[in-house]
Amino acid sequence: MLTYLNGPESDPFNYIYSSKGWLSDYDPPRPFPFWVNLEPTNHCQLDCLFCSRQKSRRPKGFLDLALAEAVFDEVAREPGTAVRFTGWGEPLLHPGIGDLCELAKKRSIPLKIYTNGLRLSPALMDRLIGLGVDDLQFSMQGLNEAQYLFNRVGSDYRKLTDNIRMASERRGREKKPFLSLLTSVLERELAEACPREFTDEWLGIVDKVAIDLTNLNFVSDLPRVKPLLGLQSAGLRRGLCVDVFLALEVKYDGAIGFCGQDADSLDEHTAGRFPADSLKGAWLGSRMEAQRERVGRGLGHESSPVCRRCYHNTDKYDTFKAMAAKGGGKP
């Protein structure tokens, strides 16, 4: 369920969402992805129930500014491609997050930041406003404080909600950053609280509210998750993967992944390594193309340790497609 304060056209990335090749007619693949998802760090201060990070054995680290610059240089040669700071950690924990934003915006790259919101200070918010960062997306969970704290173990609901309000006040009438709030819910949470009330509470403070389905499938073997599996509403129907036609993932150490679902940079899920491999080389390379053949044009999900747990594409994108068919952001 996706609701905009001022319509989908107000979204700085509507130019992507309304492009030919976004979610339909995407094969053959574009010469370069719509999105390059770049991981500032895989450190995080939380221990969320649904997150594959809790199973990750990958060393922790931070994106080097020189590596980031090289990524931005290549992206800047591909007008229209946007960068998202995301990955398996909290981007605002990167000690140079403001500098990373500056390096991207100096090259006029459309930039979106995903954050759990806890480390957003007034000074950093002012810097993001000054740099013209395009979109700041806060991640929530559930539809109220109790649901949030159940899912986001170790978090601080008051801190997050205060910071969202602070961001909104400081941005004021400036156009950027566009402010997005994304939450996801288990079936039980939908029964306990009203998504419409949640949207009404936040729309106006932020510009866009999205309510998604919590996906526990990637962590379904963990003891604390197993008892909850019956509560998730994300389905278990496999579908053709569209992610491998839309975006490329770059981890903090330069590993280039097929998609954002692999918290560990498994060799079976890796398209190359930047800068030895260019982004374009990896995107159009044989490993990525073989992955498209396996899961994008067929249902060979069992062949990959990551894909065999992946069901999220089908329900989620079917929902978005249904919204688009109805002519906009309203469900």
Contacts with ligand SF4 by CB under 6 A lie at 241, 243-244, 258-259, 261, 295, 301, 304, 306-307, 310, 313
| Burial class of residue 189 (count of CB atoms within 10 Å of its CB; 0-12, 13-18, 19+) | buried
> In whole angstroms, how close is the CB of 188 to ligand SF4 at the nearest point?
25
The two structure tokens encoding residue 242: 């569209």
> In whole angstroms, how close is the CB of 244 to ligand SF4 at the nearest point?
5
> In whole angstroms, how close is the CB of 242 to ligand SF4 at the nearest point?
8
d(CA 207, CA 145): 21
Please say which residue, 66 or 290, places its beta carbon nearer to ligand SF4.
Answer: 290
> In whole angstroms, how close is the CB of 283 to ligand SF4 at the nearest point?
14
> In whole angstroms, how close is the CB of 264 to ligand SF4 at the nearest point?
12
Please say which residue, 244 or 279, places its beta carbon nearer to ligand SF4.
Answer: 244
Please say which residue, 120 or 256, places its beta carbon nearer to ligand SF4.
Answer: 256
Within 10 A of 327 (CB to CB), how many other CB atoms are there? 8
Residue 137, beta-bridge partner list? 114, 180
d(CA 154, CA 173): 33
> In whole angstroms, how close is the CB of 317 to ligand SF4 at the nearest point?
10
Please list, residue by residue across 25-61, b when 16 or more beta carbons sit within 10 angstroms of its beta carbon and e when fewer do.
ebeebbebbbbbbbbbbbbbebebbbbbbbebebeee
> In whole angstroms, how close is the CB of 113 to ligand SF4 at the nearest point?
21
The two structure tokens encoding residue 98: 């403001």
Please say which residue, 272 or 329, places its beta carbon nearer to ligand SF4.
Answer: 272
> In whole angstroms, how close is the CB of 56 to ligand SF4 at the nearest point?
15
3-state secondary structure of 120: coil
Backbone angles phi, psi at 217, to 5 degrees: -65, -30
d(CA 287, CA 303): 14
Please say which residue, 208 or 269, places its beta carbon nearer to ligand SF4.
Answer: 269
| Burial class of residue 245 (count of CB atoms within 10 Å of its CB; 0-12, 13-18, 19+) | buried
89 close to 53: Cβ distance less than 8 angstroms = yes
d(CA 194, CA 226): 26
Please say which residue, 171 or 309, places its beta carbon nearer to ligand SF4.
Answer: 309
Please say which residue, 197 or 268, places its beta carbon nearer to ligand SF4.
Answer: 268
Backbone angles phi, psi at 84, to 5 degrees: -115, 130
Please say which residue, 112 or 294, places its beta carbon nearer to ligand SF4.
Answer: 294
